[in-house]
């Protein structure tokens, strides 16, 4: 979809007018307490959020907290300048995010991948995770959508409760501000497995993107989810994000998800894309030799990927030779596969105005505008980017 009819591109500058950011992480200001307005009284009691004083969250067994993974960035995971003026959690003030991120970068839309949802797959209690997912969705709508028309969201679901997840998708599936289903990762079940079919059936009904993002590795009930064994350090953990994406992509292809559910597309966020070269070559090669084993895979695996999968651009690679990045983009057909993402307000945010300024103009336009509009089925709400975008429903 070409939406550049009234955008202007100046030579040597980065065009972001009408651009879409496919991965931004607003946070809750006070953990699960911030979600109390969107939880039933029964769940408020069950989570220990009813009459518990401030000490409740600091004493084991008194108040439920969102599971965390055991790897800590020694410099912190959030950009300090995103902390609200009065203090608090970075990225938790909608007005500040609207001004300092959406306005500054002249974005027409930013897809919310909610901060409190990233570790949701670590909850061992599937019903609890479903209740919290529902509260996160209401929090997006009431506090972020209401603050600015440029925010578009993710229907967060509990991966251990596929039937409950399907109900949540049906609740929000016709909302034009919701553009994707976010499935937090769980260990032991790759994305192609039949466990997820109720989620895919619901997403397929509304033509929604299905998104996968790292964050649940080693959190709560999840094991480390990496090959061989658990990393010792944050350095290892962060460098290995692409492993899960490879496993899930191969699973989706081999299990026939793309043929069974023709109206869903899949987005891999914050997991890189250089790994795609080898996995596409290997899948195509092995399919030619053993496709009798998976007769429902009716064409080259790489064709499914090119048609139905997109990869978020952050983190941008920084090879010693820029020519190597150019060659990588050529091999993976970046003009078709990549959608821009900043990962704001995380520590390694890719700045929309500077991180991609050396890329060819055509590739920037595809990543920032053409690809996300087509992939998420977006339309403009008005004549200026500040009027935002919404999904065609």
Report the alpha-carbon angle 195-196-197, nearest 5: 95
Are β-strands 178-182 and 265-268 bridged in parallel, bridged antiparallel, or unpaired?
unpaired
Q: How far apart are CA 47 and CA 63, in angstroms?
A: 6
Torsion sign over Cα 254, 258, 264, 266 = positive
Q: How far apart are CA 366 and CA 9, in angstroms?
A: 13
DSSP state of 387: G
pLDDT computed for residue 51 by the predictor: 66
pLDDT computed for residue 59 by the predictor: 62
Provide Rg for the chain, Cα atoms.
20
Helices (H), 179-333: 197-206, 234-239, 241-254, 257-260, 276-290, 301-308, 322-332
pLDDT computed for residue 40 by the predictor: 97
Q: List the chain residues with pLDDT less than 50.
A: 1-14
Residue 368 tokens read as: 């920032």
User: Phi, psi (5° rounding) for residue 20?
Assistant: -120, 135
3-state secondary structure of 378: strand
| Nearest residue to 209 via CA among 334, 279, 311, 345 | 311
Residues contacting residue 102 through CB under 8 Å, at least 6 positions apart: 110, 148, 150, 151
- The secondary element (H helix, E strand) that includes residue 265 is strand 265-268
Residues contacting residue 371 through CB under 8 Å, at least 6 positions apart: 310, 336, 338, 339
pLDDT computed for residue 367 by the predictor: 96
Neighbours of 360 (CB within 10 A): 12
């Amino acid at each position: 979809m070409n939406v550049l009819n009234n955008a202007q591109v100046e030579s040597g500058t980065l065009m972001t007018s009408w651009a879409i950011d496919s991965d931004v992480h607003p946070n809750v200001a006070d953990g699960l307490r911030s979600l109390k307005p969107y939880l039933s009284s029964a769940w408020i009691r069950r989570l220990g959020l009813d009459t518990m004083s401030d000490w409740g969250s600091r004493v084991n067994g008194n108040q439920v907290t969102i599971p965390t993974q055991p790897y800590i960035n020694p410099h912190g995971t959030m950009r300090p300048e995103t902390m609200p003026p009065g203090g608090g959690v970075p990225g938790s003030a909608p007005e500040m995010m609207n001004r300092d991120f959406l306005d500054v970068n002249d974005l027409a839309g930013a897809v919310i991948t909610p901060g409190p949802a990233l570790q949701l797959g670590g909850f061992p209690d599937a019903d609890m995770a479903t209740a919290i997912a529902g509260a996160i969705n209401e929090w997006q709508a009431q506090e972020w959508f209401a603050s600015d028309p440029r925010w578009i969201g993710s229907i967060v679901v509990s991966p251990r409760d596929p039937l409950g997840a399907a109900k949540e998708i049906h609740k929000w599936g016709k909302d034009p501000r919701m553009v994707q289903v976010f499935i937090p990762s769980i260990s032991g079940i790759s994305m192609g497995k039949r466990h997820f079919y109720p989620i895919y059936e619901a997403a397929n009904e509304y033509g929604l993107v299905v998104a996968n993002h790292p964050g649940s590795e080693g959190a709560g009930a999840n094991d480390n989810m990496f090959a061989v064994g658990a990393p010792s350090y944050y350095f290892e953990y962060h460098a290995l994000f692409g492993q899960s994406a490879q496993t899930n992509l191969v699973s989706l292809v081999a299990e026939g998800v793309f043929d069974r559910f023709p109206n869903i597309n899949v987005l891999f966020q914050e997991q890189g894309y250089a790994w795609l070269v080898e996995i596409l070559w290997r899948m195509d090669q092995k399919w030619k030799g053993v496709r009798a084993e998976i007769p429902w895979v009716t064409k080259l695996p790489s064709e499914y990927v090119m048609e139905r999968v997109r990869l978020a651009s952050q983190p941008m690679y920084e090879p010693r030779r820029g020519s190597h990045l150019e060659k990588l983009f050529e091999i993976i057909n970046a003009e078709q596969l990549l959608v821009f993402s900043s990962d704001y307000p995380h520590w390694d945010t890719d700045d929309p105005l500077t991180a991609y300024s050396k890329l060819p103009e055509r590739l920037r336009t595809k990543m920032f505008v053409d690809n996300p509009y087509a992939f998420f089925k977006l339309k403009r709400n008005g004549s200026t980017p500040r009027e935002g975008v919404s999904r065609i429903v």
